[in-house]
Structure 1
Amino acid sequence: MIKVGIIGASGYAGAELYRLLLNHKNVEIVAISSQSYAGKMISDLYPSFYGPYDMCLSQDQDVLDKADMIFASLPHGLSEKYAKVCEEQGKKFIDLGADFRLDKESDYQQWYQHDYQYPGLHEKQVYGLSEVNRDLIKKATIIGNPGCYPTSITLGLYPLLKNQMQKDEKIIIDSKSGTTGAGKSLSEDTHFPKCNESFHPYKIASHRHTPEIEQELSKMANQDIQVMFTPHLLPVNRGIISTIYVSLKDDVTFDEVYDIYHKTYQDEYFVRVLPKGKVADLKFVQYSNFCDISLHYDERYHQLIVVSTIDNMVKGAAGQAIQNMNLMCGFNELEGLMMIPASF
């Protein structure tokens, strides 16, 4: 049993983390915090927690004092100071924000307009894509939990790039996300009259997940990979679906690609490569930690089309964070994550 705390439990990802951890047999949730709602019950914000699942939101320091495993679900620029305290106290730290995702401070400065407060911490960070970095995660004390878009994209491309079956270094990615991906704070785009019965791209060629995507894909391919990434906002609560276009090498067949995907993920419980002819659908991963991948082939252009879908709040945030915790603590990797997606 490990004592767990959540800093930033009032946001969507933090509340989802709390919900999932309640079902984990190896953890005791000892404290949850919120700077804006300290002193309130979490059921005041999310009525589904009323009764036996309720807990008071406290100050951040309460989490640091009581927990041995700390999750931070905060906007970028706020997590480093908590990671520093955890390092000094020998506690494990998982950041669901962006502060520990990028290898280069220059990328963080360019895309997030912040400097590293504690550069030494970043030498210890591990990118928490569980299926790819499992061995590193097991030894880590600081995890940068991947972004939701990058999770769907990197898992969707990993087998192809690892085996260098793509023709060139340029990849086109078209992704769509539910509105929870924008966080709890209301904006013009997520205001109900604007997003309801609407569907539109945003931050075209300028989304902050772009350097994270290119960084991790380049590691997988062992060469520089460039992406043309366009995110869209769907009028649904949760889910991400990424459609990825990649030119194949001339001597690579679709059957070979399909076989490589199956071999790569055959022992990965949370990645499901669908049968040929099936199409991944975000509806059938919602509330689960699954990533569904379907593969399609355009004969005219010898091009692979990958469709990869996840629940942005689970595999794209809280679920993957728990999967990483399980690896760090030596628990069963599936513990607390055995949710079956709804069928309708």
Structure 2
Amino acid sequence: MAPIRIAVLGASGYTGADLVRLALTHPHIEIAALSANAKAGLTMAEVWPHFAPYPDLPRLTLAEEVDWAGVDAVFGCLPHAASAALLATLEGPRIVDLSADFRLKDAGTYAEWYGGAHPAPALLPQAVYGLTEYARDALPGARLVACPGCYPTAVLLAVLPLVEAGLIDPARVSVNALSGVSGAGRGLKEANLFAEVAEAVHPYAIGAHRHMPEIEQEIGLRAGTDVRISFTPHLVPMNRGELVTIAVETRGTVADLRAALQARYTDEPFVHLLPEGVAPSTRMVRGSNHAVLNVFADRLPGRALVIAAIDNLVKGSSGQAIQNLNLMFGLPETAGLTQAPLFP
């Protein structure tokens, strides 16, 4: 088959760069254009030295100057609002957006959490929420796919099978989340300096993280009712990786919860229930598109702990984006994503 010609908007950010890294070894992708407004005119190797062995990568350009002729798909790795404003002007290429702009179904909810009116509300009904394992039927015909946030990816993979099976109370979900510093983006911020993040753990956006309504939306859809969750994210001194510990109130035993997860994910190429008693760790998934999870009994009666780990830049972002693209174009779902986790 002819290669899928892609453009990556925002290739100077962490997610954009990781998407390029994965696309380079994809058997059916050709990188046609790369944009990075602040770095326009530079080569990828000048922005990212690890791309020095790939001198044939397109030079970075302004997003507005991308030649869309012959581009089959575009990956939007831009900040929220900027992403939708640009993608709404495109005709032709299919879109996989990694920003938050098309994840929420309701424009009013978006305005409440993202501080301004939605830039392209007319596109919201078209957007497929691209949690791949739950979106397979919709992806082949989709023109616009919204990749979930990294925290929602980990949380939803862990709890949706339990919600669907009626094994937990969807209104009693409490998430304690840890993320590597790359999850905060590449922009220069005092709080992200080495001396600020090293040897410390920082809670942030306490009770007000923008991924909360996204998680609530997707749990609520499966539960058939509005839900509110407790969610506290923490920045930890590592580059990449994400781990969520989710306290749930159960309507069954831990064995029931494990059975539901096993039944849902037994044939999944990237989501894995670990053996009983084995705790997920970010080192199990680093650099890969895999997710690992497990369930443990809480010492409080009627409660359990569901723990999941992903790489925030791969399964939580660029890897999931490519997984979605594969299904959009009728390719094997695992194409370009079979890298084993990197350890140590």
What band does the TM-score fall into relative to the shorter chain? over 0.9
What residue in structure 2 maps to residue 206 of structure 1?
208
Gaps of 5+ in 2: none
Q: Does 1:72 align with 2:72?
A: no
Q: What are the Cα deviations for residues 173-221 of structure 1, in whole angstroms up to 9, with x where unaligned? A: 0000000000000212211111011112111001111111111111122
Q: 1:168, 1:131 → 2: CA distance?
A: 20
- SS class of match (2:19): helix
Deviation of the 1:66 alpha carbon: 4.7
Distance 2:301 2:334 in 1: 40
| 2:200 aligned with 1:194 | no
Could you tell me how far apart the structure 1 residues matched to 2:199 and 2:79 are? 28
- Partner SS state of residue 226, structure 1: coil
Q: Is 1:159 the equivalent of 2:161? A: yes
Question: Which residue in 2 is equivalent to 1:59?
Answer: 62
Question: How many percent identity over aligned positions?
Answer: 38
Q: Is the CA contact 1:129–1:145 (under 8 Å) kept in the aligned structure 2?
A: yes
1:127-276 superposed matches below 5 A: 127-167=129-169, 169-249=171-251, 252-276=252-276
Amino acid at match of 1:59: L
Letter in 2 for 1:322: I
Contact conserved, 1:94 with 1:144, CA < 8 A, in 2? yes
Please list the CA deviations of residues 135-157 of structure 1 after superposition, one character each: whole Å capped at 9, or x if unmatched: 11221100111000110000010
1:235-283 superposed Cα distances (whole Å, 9 cap, x missing partner): 000000000000112xx12211111110000111100100111000001
SS of residue matched to 2:306: strand
Decide which moves more: 256-265 or 112-121: 112-121
For the residues of structure 2 that align with 1:317 and 1:243, how far apart are their CA atoms?
20
Name the CA distance, whole Å, in 1 between partners of 2:27 and 2:46. Answer: 26
- For 1:91, the equivalent position in structure 2 comes to 93
Q: What residue is the counterpart of 1:286 in the other structure?
A: 286
CA distance in 2, matches of 1:240, 1:75: 20
Deviation at 1:300, TM superposition (A): 3.5
Whole-angstrom distance in 2 between the partners of 1:301 and 1:64: 58
Q: 1:30 to 1:296 in 2, by over 3 A?
A: same
Cα distance in 2 between the residues matched to 1:227 and 1:59: 40
Secondary structure, in 3 states, of the residue corresponding to 1:5? strand
Offset at residue 168 of structure 1 (A)? 5.4
Task: Tell me whether 76-85 or 143-152 shows the greater mean CA deviation.
Answer: 76-85
1:241–1:310 CA contact under 8 A, matched in 2: yes
Which amino acid letter does the alignment assign opposite residue 159 of structure 1? P
Which sections of structure 1, spanning at least 5 residues, go unmatched?
none
Local SS of the residue matching 2:229: strand
1:32 corresponding residue in structure 2: 34
Give the aligned CA root-mean-square deviation in angstroms.
1.3
What is the distance in 2 between the residues matched to 1:173 and 1:191? Answer: 26
In the alignment, what sits opposite 1:330?
330
Contact 1:4 1:67 in 2 (8 A): yes
Instruction: Name the aligned partner's letter for residue 222 of structure 2.
Output: M
- After superposition, give the CA deviation of every residue in 1:47-75 in whole Å (9 maximum; x if it has no partner): 11003355311221315345220011011
Query: 2:169 is paired with a residue of what secondary structure?
Result: coil
TM-score, normalisation: structure 1? 0.96
Partner Cα separation in structure 2 for residue 316 and residue 109 of structure 1: 24
Question: Which amino acid counterpart does residue 289 of structure 1 have in structure 2?
Answer: N
Q: Distance in 2 between matches of 1:35 and 1:63?
A: 15
Q: Equivalents in 2 of 1:313, 1:150: separation in Å? A: 13
Distance 1:106 1:158 in 2: 25
Aligned-partner Cα distance in 2 for 1:216–1:53: 42
Q: Which digits, 9 at most, give the CA deviation of each residue in 1:310-340, with x for residues without a partner?
A: 0000001100000000010000000000010
What CA distance in whole angstroms lies between the structure 1 residues aligned with 2:56 and 2:225?
49
> CA separation in 1, counterparts of 2:238 and 2:185?
13
